[in-house]
Amino acid sequence: MTKSEQLFEEARKVIPGGVNSPVRAYGSVGMAPRFISKAEGAYITDVDGNEYIDFIGSWGPMILGSAHKEVYKNVLDACQYGLSFGAATEIEVKMAKLICELVPSIEMIRMVNSGTEAVMSAIRVARGFTGKNKIIKFEGCYHGHSDAMLVKAGSGVMTAGIPDSAGVPSGCAEDTLSAVYNDFNSVEELFHQWGNEIAAVIIEPVAANMGVVLPEKDFLNKLRKICDDNQSLLILDEVITGFRLGIDGAQGYFGIKPDITTFGKIIGGGMPVGAYGGRREIMELVSPSGGVYQAGTLSGNPVAMAAGYTQLMILKNNPDFYTSLNQTSKQLFEGMKQIIEEYHVPATLNYLGSLGCIFFTQNQVKDYTSAKTSDTKAFGKYFKYMINHGIYIAPSQFEAMFVSGAMGEKEINQTLVVMKKYFEGL
Ligand code: PMP
């Protein structure tokens, strides 16, 4: 028995499912999870001493690679002054100013501790601002685990095949309307039916929780317009895409201006951080300046801010970072496409920038329904081979591969070699 397997046995006795977040349990691929002991640069190591090339990167935040020296140093420095004050600090002001500078649609921003909190709060302020209750979300998009968002969600909910969660009172979900990703008609229909009751449309501008699904041309622009026409707000959930597709996120990439943006993990550089921000007149409604209550003892925590601020400053000060990251990513994803073609693998590859996903289906994947045509058993076999050959990818068909700036030719070539061997052997 490996040490990971031993730990998993122990963990299951004291932690539900043995993990503190569902996808970590490797449930959908039917094996014990690897317990991790450390990560550095492009590599992650488990408790049995196996080293892997890390394409999860803590599910997004480790865009510079793990244990980046400057981030790490500034975190240690911050620790010397105290781990938490529950009081206002200078670094919070610097962080807010930096994000407002980098993302033009954001005039004010509030720090929270996770993506879940960011979305939950953004929805509250959207409802407070518009005086309306209904929210449109898209099937297969995941926006954290707040009650109202656990309706046709992606990520772990999708993997487990749970359409909804137990414990969510129907009243909490009845104002959440579901539309189909990339199907503008489905949105129009909801507006037709509920137009003056819709507070906001929330979307992952590139969906990364049903695998990676790109928005079709003009889809996001049409959402912008229909929101404007109906005095509804557009919320872009950039928990994954923010500071990943570029310094100004998906909204910069697609040239779309949301009313509210939510961020998560990546702005914490590996520490627990989330944030929501947007137009001043909306954000001024948040307490204590306005009547929409939202608070957090550890929000804007000085150590977390030190990590996040340093990471964002590194990204800001290295204008070539994204060009180089996207080039490395292209090498990987185009290489994967070639392998799929060469070995006639019944699979489809979707990618944008440093986010990508191989779907084990021959269908084009553009929404939840097409994503679900994937052969998850075939994914499971592929996953087992990859992890047993040193490639650390998400243990689910419906998650993204994250490329980091710490990766280069060596890691990409190695990954493609392993992949090629797998498909060759089928
Ligand atoms: N929104 C999106 C788009 C996400 O991908 C996630 C988590 N991966 C969340 C919200 C929730 O973030 P957290 O897990 O930090 O609560």
Mutate to test the pocket of ligand 1, among 20, 123, 239 (most ligand atoms within 8 A of CB): 239
- Rounded to the nearest angstrom, the distance between the alpha carbon of 413 and the centre of ligand 1 is 30
Could you give phi then psi for residue 362, rounded to 5 degrees? -90, -10
In this prediction, residues 73-89 reach a mean pLDDT of: 98
Q: Write the pLDDT tens digit of every residue in 202-215.
A: 999 999 999 999 99
Residues known to be catalytic: 142, 237, 265
Q: Give the span between the Cα atoms of 370 and 362, in whole angstroms.
A: 10
- Give residue 163's pLDDT: 56
- Look at residue 159 and tell me whether its pLDDT is greater than 70: no
- Look at residue 201 and tell me whether its pLDDT is greater than 60: yes
In this prediction, residues 236-246 reach a mean pLDDT of: 98
Could you give phi then psi for residue 137, rounded to 5 degrees? -125, 175
- Look at residue 413 and tell me whether its pLDDT is greater than 90: yes
- Give residue 281's pLDDT: 98
| For ligand 1, atom 1: residue with the closest CA | 143
Confidence of residue 155 (pLDDT cuts 50, 70, 90): confident
Q: Give the span between the Cα atoms of 273 and 324, in whole angstroms.
A: 26
Domains of the chain: 3-67+320-425 (3.90.1150.10), 69-317 (3.40.640.10)
Q: What is the per-residue DSSP string for 161-227?
A: T-SB-TT--HHHHTTEEEE-TT-HHHHHHHHHHHGGGEEEEEE-SSB-SSS-BPPPTTHHHHHHHHH
Taking CB atoms and a 6 Å cutoff, what residues make up the pocket around ligand 1? Answer: 59, 114-116, 119, 142-144, 204, 209, 237, 239-240, 264-265, 274
- Give residue 178's pLDDT: 94
In this prediction, residues 394-408 reach a mean pLDDT of: 98
- Look at residue 387 and tell me whether its pLDDT is greater than 60: yes
Contact 311, 98 (CB under 8 A): no
Q: What atom in ligand 1 is closest to the CA of residue 274?
A: 15
Q: Write the pLDDT tens digit of every residue in 135-152.
A: 999 999 999 999 999 988
- Give residue 162's pLDDT: 55
